[in-house]
Amino acid sequence: MRTGIATVCLSGTLKEKMQACAIAGFDGIEIFEQDLVTSPLPPEDIRKMAADLGLTLDLYQPFRDFDSVPGDLLAANLRRAGAKFRLMSRLGMDTILVCSNVATASIDSDDLRVEQLGQLAALAGDHGVKVAYEALAWGKFVSDYEHAHRLVTAVDHPNLGTCLDSFHILSRNWDTAPIEVLDPAKIFFVQVADAPKLAMDVLSWSRHYRVFPGEGQFELAKFMGHVVRAGYTGPVSLEIFNDVFRQSDVERTAVDGMRSLIWLEEQGAKWLDANAGTPAVPRRRYPMELATLPQVAEPAGWNFAEVRAADTTGLETVLGQLGFGFDGRHRTKDVQLWSMGAARVVINEAAPDLAAGSAPAIAALGFDVDSPVIAAARAQQLKAPAVPRKSQANEEVFQGFAAPDSTEVFLCQGSADRTAAWTSEFGEGLDVPAGGSTAVIDHINLAQPWQHFDEAVLFYTSALALQPQPFAEVPSPTGLVRSQVMLSADRSVRLVLNLAPLIQQEGGGARTTYQEHIAFAVDDLVGTARAARGRGLEFLQIPANYYEDLDARFGLDPDFLATLQDLNLLYDRDADGEFLHFYTATVGSVFFEMVERRGGYDGYGAPNAPVRHAVQYDHLHRS
Amino acid sequence: MRTGIATVCLSGTLKEKMQACAIAGFDGIEIFEQDLVTSPLPPEDIRKMAADLGLTLDLYQPFRDFDSVPGDLLAANLRRAGAKFRLMSRLGMDTILVCSNVATASIDSDDLRVEQLGQLAALAGDHGVKVAYEALAWGKFVSDYEHAHRLVTAVDHPNLGTCLDSFHILSRNWDTAPIEVLDPAKIFFVQVADAPKLAMDVLSWSRHYRVFPGEGQFELAKFMGHVVRAGYTGPVSLEIFNDVFRQSDVERTAVDGMRSLIWLEEQGAKWLDANAGTPAVPRRRYPMELATLPQVAEPAGWNFAEVRAADTTGLETVLGQLGFGFDGRHRTKDVQLWSMGAARVVINEAAPDLAAGSAPAIAALGFDVDSPVIAAARAQQLKAPAVPRKSQANEEVFQGFAAPDSTEVFLCQGSADRTAAWTSEFGEGLDVPAGGSTAVIDHINLAQPWQHFDEAVLFYTSALALQPQPFAEVPSPTGLVRSQVMLSADRSVRLVLNLAPLIQQEGGGARTTYQEHIAFAVDDLVGTARAARGRGLEFLQIPANYYEDLDARFGLDPDFLATLQDLNLLYDRDADGEFLHFYTATVGSVFFEMVERRGGYDGYGAPNAPVRHAVQYDHLHRS
């Protein structure tokens, strides 16, 4: 599959965009007209730079408001088109995107459109240019890709074809199956974009909220499957209008985009395999070849979590109070191991590269996978930056890479009994009795930088096969927190990505606060809390008002309610079961949560999250 | 008019919110349930704190999903209501908001609703509580305020009335006129919210995009007029769900909200005066008294603009090259005066309080007004913070206040001949010939902090009688720039508020860049540009690609096009006329623009703005 991206997806100048696209590994680019018009580079220099960078210039776009106009406007439009065709010749480009008319269309006649598109095709032919006509979702008279294709077929000129854009098709819920029966010789270009399903006017949706494939909710694998079965062989190119991408680091965003196409290619291949029909038509029968990636199953569980700190005293205290046992220090590295049943926490004392300071912070996640090598190979192909891990002879070497928020992700060999071989590298610990031998890591909650949230969703989806759930918005005293759960199917891995609100700073800037946490599941939360209190744990203090409201909502048994309040426990209930949990006070930017799931409860106590945010904020402000 | 605000409008803890509301001058507040549930304060303490702060506790809200349910759910809902009624008694509150059911309504029967609301009213009566039933715009069976009022009327219980919320009414385009014929004894509460007109699902619109009155596009003056004519006498209270307000400084946002109610009160009074009917019913005939403000006309023009810098050399050079004459130094202050016709620029050398550094920046705007004293009195009543201006005897004292972005706004006595008396306080200048004696300030473009954009719109609307125009979004290499023009009716004052995109910083933070500019209008831009070039002015360099595109779009006369390109002029044309303009290079965070308007052209060359942003960005990155 030939990969492409429109320059409008990225921040910076045309030169910066092109360089970033080359680094990210795209085959070609679409030049968005405004990027050229605002560039100091002459067209000949752009052409040479693209060649030097190994990028083809696949599409000049957009040419707007051509068809369905009266004669005088048509003449002006043809003159305008001629100027662009001459420019394209200097750029060495042969395909231009012409959108169905939005602003100046005044005559609704397919005969007239065929006649006018025919004139455009003839002019394009004179300049050796191919016109890819696209039905915009909000085109005045032409908004359906099949309609556009009928017009193109009626014109029947070798220099006129269509452009298929997944956003324009899927935002209108047009059926994608008929793509297969389009004349492949008339499909000049394919653009792909994903989007969250929003109930808003389609123009605003398109201009601000598109995301890279895999970051939204469109059925793009199916779309790709139909495109391949149609016999299309040209570039598959990203055209994403996204407010955040426009503001983000250009190289990061380009890599994010490239990852989305690699993932989409695989998803398309899978769709073709799963929908091969009877008799089955093998994927390789089609002219476009879709590459696949090393295949991995979703992770089987958490192997460990790692927290870093310059001063580890606070962490050690809290873990001990929670009932974790100290399993010793590593024989060659400055790290400690603490555990409680299968819940393992590594405390890294080295903290060599803490960009955000030396306060305790979650630094790494270890996932149990079937084959760390295959999983690492997949992540590598998805452009995940590898993390070097120093180790001595006879020590287990983890395959690892960096997530978009810089958290290190390690791929570990899982085991049926939930033990980990690498723990033998740790020396003798203290003889502390474990408080809850059945504990496991229930979920880990990471704060994401505002400009990399969508990227993180795609990263965990594509590299680790976690499934994004519908996101929630939780009120906090400093704004709404967007919370996105990523799950393995059997719930053994629950990763929560939080987008903390920006808080204003002097001088017009903004920052986010980064409280993250690790939650451990136990069988007996009340017992765990009592024991922790006995060891002197500082609980997050839950207001009395919360318990009154809880009682109003659920009508709880008075003794049970008193126990909850006495121990600062929070409670939730739904049709599937019950949830009990408590939080520790925060150490640096990390805190811990203990949870007990009763019955089939599958949530995270979302109604209690505002209480947690408010109390933490209050505590932060008072201290 | 009694003023109120719901705590959900503001950031922070309940205590911080209440304190901010008291400081801003509200009469009372609505307690949003979540703010109470998450607060460590016992209800009795909240009650006492409100009393100490001089705030009444007007409404407990919201109570959700009560009506249209089967019997078992009704029993649970009544139990839940009882708990809240007891809580209200501890808070000393007598009114609760009950929303029409969204989530659990399953039986669509008005008879059943009357029966169930009747039971709720009876229970409320037992506790001395009044229930204000509100039709949510997205209520499952009840979404129209007249429907809610019919139900309440049918129940006919003294403890049951309705709540009118302008958002729920105007978002659905319900006719507001019938408000007048509602039974005033049954209107228990009125909430007001404004909003931009967005085409999206009404729930998302409501939860994220509400703004304070005057910051959106709803017809709130009319709504207020109908409420007053209905005979309502209770609080008029803000209930604004806004993502940015939730993140902003609580005291600033509270003042912004208070300003919006003061403004709304005046607008309501004006609407009543203008719609008194025949025979006229004077406003004072109605039970609710609406206060008005000192009346001002829109400003007649720009008096001056002030730029501050620690090192003024760069500014002096550019102004001289543009053709401005140096009119001398002030006799007691460290400021210089430069002018070109009626365009006056004050360069302030003192720069004592430049928070963002000492680079040149726009510091103050002077507006010509009919009566500076009346205008200042109005601004004062609208809670604009006054700016002290030091002056000696015999010097003109400007009335001034600080705009939301900290720019100082001065109210000056205008004159028919566009001169300014205060210029006589300046000593002798250089004998430099003025380059364009007819120049005036055409517009001034200020960058706004992201969290105060809506506040700024209301500020200039209410304090200076400028009219907000529909906003535009301009692509730049670092993101979309939101651009909001504020106009006087005769266009003698054009103020452009720009919301620059946030740019990511290390560690997850963000900042904005603040390039601002002053544009001067002349009669002969080509001549002005030639003369400036002769004096060595550094123009913003416009790419050749721009001129090719200009020609493709407009088919310009080749000589004219060559002149434009030779002089780095930009060009735009529409049905009303033509626009020529050029930009200087940036000095500190300020640059200048020279414009020539031909015919009735009323814009700002918006199609050229991306070029300007791209070239400035490129220049910033290279230097």
B53-92 pLDDT per residue, tens: 999 999 999 999 999 999 999 999 999 999 999 999 999 9
Task: Give the position of tokens 């001990």.
Answer: A320
CB contact under 8 A, A506 and B545: no
CB contact under 8 A, A503 and B42: no
> Chain B partners of A507 at a C-beta cutoff of 8 Å?
355-356, 511
Looking at residue A431, what is its pLDDT?
Answer: 55
A128 has pLDDT over 70: yes
Of B449, B551, B444, B460, the C-alpha closest to B492 is: B444
Helices (H) and strands (E) in chain B, counts: 17, 26
CA distances from A611 to A571, A618, B33, B83 (A): 12, 10, 12, 19
pLDDT above 70 coverage of chain A, percent: 95
Looking at residue A393, what is its pLDDT?
Answer: 66
Mean pLDDT score, A572-579? 97
Instruction: Determine the Cα–Cα distance for residues B153 and B160; give it in Å rounded to an integer.
Output: 9
Instruction: Determine the Cα–Cα distance for residues A522 and A440; give it in Å rounded to an integer.
Output: 7
- Six token digits for residue B296: 């001002």
Looking at residue A400, what is its pLDDT?
Answer: 92
> Chain B partners of A252 at a C-beta cutoff of 8 Å?
none
CB-count burial class (<10 Å; 0-12, 13-18, 19+) for A343 = buried
A622 has pLDDT over 80: no
User: What pLDDT digit, counting tens, does each position of A298-309 carry?
Assistant: 999 999 999 998
Report DSSP letters for A380-433, one per residue: HHTTPPB------TTSPPPEEEE-TTS-EEEEEE--TTS--GGGGGB-----PP
B350 has pLDDT over 90: no
- For residue A36, give the H/E element and its range: helix A33-37
CB B137 within 8 Å of CB B168: yes
Read off the DSSP letter of residue B353. Answer: T
Looking at residue B508, what is its pLDDT?
Answer: 57
Peptide bond into A70 cis (omega under 30): no
> Chain A partners of B38 at a C-beta cutoff of 8 Å?
543, 545-546, 610-611, 613-615
Lowest mean pLDDT among A133-137, A436-440, A463-467, A586-590: A436-440
Mean pLDDT score, A570-590? 96
Looking at residue A397, what is its pLDDT?
Answer: 80
Looking at residue B451, what is its pLDDT?
Answer: 84
Instruction: Determine the Cα–Cα distance for residues A284 and A290; give it in Å rounded to an integer.
Output: 8
Considering only the beta carbons, identify the residue of A451, A543, A551 that sits closest to B83.
A551
A430 has pLDDT over 90: no
**Amino acid (1-letter code) at residue B497:** L
Mean pLDDT score, A18-37? 98
Cross-strand bridge partners of residue B96: B60, B131
User: What pLDDT digit, counting tens, does each position of A404-416 carry?
Assistant: 988 999 999 888 8
Looking at residue A100, what is its pLDDT?
Answer: 98
B354 has pLDDT over 60: no
CB contact under 8 A, A38 and B505: no
Task: Please give the sequence-ordered ranges of beta strands (E in DSSP) within B77-127, or none if there are none.
Answer: 95-99
User: What pLDDT digit, counting tens, does each position of B283-335 carry?
Assistant: 999 999 999 999 999 999 999 999 998 889 999 999 999 999 999 999 888 89
**Which chain B residue shows the shortest CA-CA distance from A618?**
B13
Instruction: Determine the Cα–Cα distance for residues A194 and A239; give it in Å rounded to an integer.
Output: 9
Instruction: Please enumerate in sequence order all residues whose Cβ is within 8 A of that of A122, keeping only pairs 6 or more positions apart, or say none.
Output: A157, A159
Of B264, B165, B171, the C-alpha closest to B224 is: B264
Looking at residue A621, what is its pLDDT?
Answer: 77
Side-chain-facing half-sphere of A540: CA atoms under 13 Å: 29
Looking at residue B511, what is its pLDDT?
Answer: 67
Mutate to test the interface with A, among B37, B46, B200, B206 (most CBs of A within 10 A): B37
Instruction: Determine the Cα–Cα distance for residues A493 and A415; give it in Å rounded to an integer.
Output: 15
ipTM higher than 0.90? yes
B577-583 and B570-574: which strand pairing?
A: antiparallel
User: What pLDDT digit, counting tens, does each position of A231-286 carry?
Assistant: 999 999 999 999 999 989 999 999 999 999 999 999 999 999 999 988 999 999 99
Instruction: Determine the Cα–Cα distance for residues A448 and A499; give it in Å rounded to an integer.
Output: 5
CB A363 within 8 Å of CB A334: no
Mean pLDDT score, A72-87? 97
CB B323 within 8 Å of CB B436: yes
Identify which has the larger pLDDT, A358 or B119: B119
User: What pLDDT digit, counting tens, does each position of A313-366 carry?
Assistant: 999 999 999 999 999 999 888 899 999 999 999 999 875 554 545 677 899 999
pLDDT grade, residue A36 (50/70/90)? very high
Instruction: Determine the Cα–Cα distance for residues B326 and B242; give it in Å rounded to an integer.
Output: 47
User: What pLDDT digit, counting tens, does each position of A431-473 carry?
Assistant: 555 555 689 999 999 999 888 899 999 999 999 999 999 989 9
Instruction: Please enumerate in sequence order all residues whose Cβ is within 8 A of that of A210, keeping only pairs 6 or more positions apart, or say none.
Output: A167, A193, A194, A195, A216, A239, A240, A241, A242
CA distance B518 to chain A (A): 21
Mean pLDDT score, B213-234? 97
CB contact under 8 A, B246 and A204: no
Of A327, A311, A350, A302, the C-alpha closest to A590 is: A311
Report DSSP letters for A431-487, one per residue: -PPPS-TT-EEEEEEEEE-GGGHHHHHHHHHHHH--EEPPPEEEEETTEEEEEEEEE
> Chain B partners of A91 at a C-beta cutoff of 8 Å?
none
CB contact under 8 A, B502 and A247: yes
At residue B86, φ and ψ (nearest 5 deg) are: -65, -40
- Six token digits for residue A210: 């598109």
CA distances from B83 to A548, B77, B78, B506, B572 (A): 8, 10, 9, 49, 66
CB B552 within 8 Å of CB A80: yes
Considering only the beta carbons, identify the residue of A34, A201, A613 that sits closest to B610.
A34
Please, what is the average pLDDT of chain A? 93
Q: What angle do CA B45, B47, B53 make, to 5 degrees?
A: 100
Our measurement of the distance from residue A116's CA atom to the centroid of its chain's CA atoms, rounded to an integer in Å, reads 42
Read off the DSSP letter of residue A587. Answer: B
pLDDT grade, residue B227 (50/70/90)? very high
CB B458 within 8 Å of CB B256: yes
CA distance A212 to chain B (A): 17
Looking at residue A511, what is its pLDDT?
Answer: 67
The C-alpha R_g of chain A, in whole angstroms, comes to: 28
B618 has pLDDT over 60: yes
- Six token digits for residue A246: 């426009």
Cross-strand bridge partners of residue B495: B444, B486
pLDDT grade, residue B351 (50/70/90)? low
Instruction: Please enumerate in sequence order all residues whose Cβ is within 8 A of that of A72, keeping only pairs 6 or more positions apart, or say none.
Output: none
CB contact under 8 A, A618 and B13: yes
**Which chain A residue shows the shortest CA-CA distance from B543?**
A40
Task: Give the position of tokens 């609100």.
Answer: A501
Please, what is the average pLDDT of chain B? 93
CA distances from B473 to A458, B118, B497, B500 (A): 28, 51, 12, 10
User: What pLDDT digit, counting tens, does each position of B413-431 carry?
Assistant: 988 888 888 998 998 766 5
Instruction: Determine the Cα–Cα distance for residues B9 and B11; give it in Å rounded to an integer.
Output: 7
- Six token digits for residue A425: 């590298």
Looking at residue A353, what is its pLDDT?
Answer: 56
Predicted TM-score (pTM) of this structure: 0.94
Helix axes A71-91, B544-554, angle to 10 degrees: 160
**Which chain B residue shows the shortest CA-CA distance from A544?**
B40
Identify which has the larger pLDDT, A510 or B464: B464
Instruction: Determine the Cα–Cα distance for residues B23 and B41; give it in Å rounded to an integer.
Output: 20
Mean pLDDT score, B362-378? 94
CB count within 10 Å of CB A419 equals: 13
- Six token digits for residue B56: 């009444």
Looking at residue A388, what is its pLDDT?
Answer: 76
> Chain A partners of B511 at a C-beta cutoff of 8 Å?
507-510
**Which chain B residue shows the shortest CA-CA distance from A482?**
B243
Peptide bond into A610 cis (omega under 30): no
Mean pLDDT score, A155-171? 98
Considering only the beta carbons, identify the residue of A13, A41, A543 that sits closest to B38.
A543
B408-413 and B361-369: which strand pairing?
A: parallel
Instruction: Determine the Cα–Cα distance for residues A32 and A38; give it in Å rounded to an integer.
Output: 11
Looking at residue A351, what is its pLDDT?
Answer: 59
Of A89, A78, A92, the C-alpha closest to A122 is: A78
Instruction: Please enumerate in sequence order all residues whose Cβ is within 8 A of that of A609, keeping only pairs 6 or more positions apart, or say none.
Output: A474, A481, A483
pLDDT grade, residue B360 (50/70/90)? confident
B42 has pLDDT over 70: yes
User: What pLDDT digit, counting tens, does each position of B480-538 carry?
Assistant: 999 999 999 999 999 999 987 777 666 556 666 668 999 999 999 999 999 999 999 99
At residue A113, φ and ψ (nearest 5 deg) are: -65, -40
A52 has pLDDT over 60: yes
B395 has pLDDT over 90: no
Looking at residue A437, what is its pLDDT?
Answer: 64
Considering only the beta carbons, identify the residue of A84, A510, A621 that sits closest to B510.
A510
CB contact under 8 A, A83 and B552: yes
Mean pLDDT score, B577-599? 96
Q: How many CB pairs under 8 A join A and B?
A: 207
pLDDT grade, residue A506 (50/70/90)? low
**Which chain A residue shows the shortest CA-CA distance from B508?**
A449
At residue B36, φ and ψ (nearest 5 deg) are: -75, -45
CB contact under 8 A, A543 and B39: yes
